[in-house]
Amino acid sequence: MGDEILRMSNIHKVFDALTVLQDINLSVHHGEVVSIIGPSGSGKSTLLRCATFLEKIDGGEIVYMGKTAAYTENSGKIVYAGKAQMKEIKHYFGLVFQQFNLFPHYSVLKNVMDAPVTVLGRDKKEVEAEARVLLGKMGLADKADSYPCNLSGGQQQRVAIARALAMKPEVLFFDEPTSALDPELTIEVLKIIRQLAEEKMTMVIVTHEMSFARAVSNRVIFMDGGVIVEEGDPEDVFGNPQQERTKQFLKSYKE
């Protein structure tokens, strides 16, 4: 196994009075593909949102590449890293949303190029060359000058993946990347993710595509009610689940 990219320890998250994440431990190593499955409302999105700092944790510790992003003091107070360290840490990950969230006023190429150029301050020509290679990989070489509104959902999601990859993250998170797509469009997006897995891209994927998760991941996590119920090799979790709740959940998918 490669170096540890992300470690989340004893993560707690509460919305008002509702405990949404309880004592979650998640460690992701270089080149690993981790799938997170579970019923809707089980806290999968919240976990990704805590990992990407879109939500603040209420307890626990988050470490990226050995750098502490957040920890809990003895008093229970959560402390996040300072601005400079946080900025650095934020470059370690990317996130692909269920709803794509492309910038509609930017062309496909600009969607992919803008952050590396304006945020990282990289050379425009160099970034453009990389962006075109990425779009080619996504099967979108001829769409560089199109606008998101003229693309299918599957194409939009592939642009979103290219946009995330252009920042060269250490780990890429996916929150139900195909849930907004028709079955045919789902297939083309899953194909891309599978290709990334073959290239040893580190990924954490929340998905309802069970056969995909089984085929592509090194590890599967089943969440329910804000806790990790079962975790392990996909063949074990899917083929021989140990927990009653896992069995029930997987059965509901077979029907």
Partner 1 sequence: MTFPTMLQTMGSGMLKTILLFVLTLAGSIPLGMVVVFLKKSKFKPIAWITEIYIAIMRGTPLMLQLLVWYFGPYYIFGLSIRGYKFPALLIGFIMNYAAYFAEIYRSGIDSMPVGQYEAAEILGYSKVRTFFKIILPQVIKRILPAITNEVITLVKDTSLASALAYAEVFSLAKQISASQTSFLPFVVAGVFYFVANYVVAGIMKRIEKSMQYYK
Nearest of 44, 9, 41 to residue 205 by alpha carbon: 44
The pair phi, psi for residue 199, each rounded to 5°, is -85, 10
The pair phi, psi for residue 48, each rounded to 5°, is -65, -40
Identity of residue 182: D
Of 23-31, 61-69, 88-96, 229-237, the segment contacting partner 1 by CB under 8 A is 88-96
* Number of residues this chain uses to bind partner 1 (CB under 8 A): 27
One character per residue 9-48, x = contact with partner 1 (rule: CB under 8 A): ----------------------------------------
Judged by CB, which is closer to partner 1: 14, or 167? 167
Q: Which one of ligand ADP, partner 1, Mg ion, none is in contact with 163 (Cβ closer than 5 to 8 A by kind)? A: partner 1
Of 39-47, 123-131, 145-153, 232-240, the segment contacting ligand ADP by CB under 6 A is 39-47
What one-character-per-residue DSSP string does 203-225 give? EEEE-S-HHHHHHH-SEEEEEET
Binders of Mg ion among 159-198, rule CB under 5 A? none
Nearest of 194, 236, 195, 189 to residue 216 by alpha carbon: 194
Query: Out of 7, 91, 191, 194, which residue is the one contacting partner 1 (CB under 8 A)?
Result: 91
Binders of Mg ion among 38-57, rule CB under 5 A? 45
Minimum distance of ligand ADP from residue 253's CB (angstroms): 15
Distance CA 113, CA 162 (A): 9
Distance CA 253, CA 175 (A): 19
- Going by C-beta distance under 8 Å and a sequence separation of 6 or more, which residues neighbour residue 118? none
Side-chain-side CA neighbours of residue 178 (13 Å) = 19
Q: Where do contacts with ligand ADP occur on this chain (CB under 6 A)? A: 15, 20, 38, 40-46
Q: Where do contacts with Mg ion occur on this chain (CB under 5 A)? A: 45
Q: Where do contacts with partner 1 occur on this chain (CB under 8 A)? A: 52-54, 87, 90-91, 93-95, 97, 99, 101-105, 114-115, 118-120, 147-149, 163-164, 167
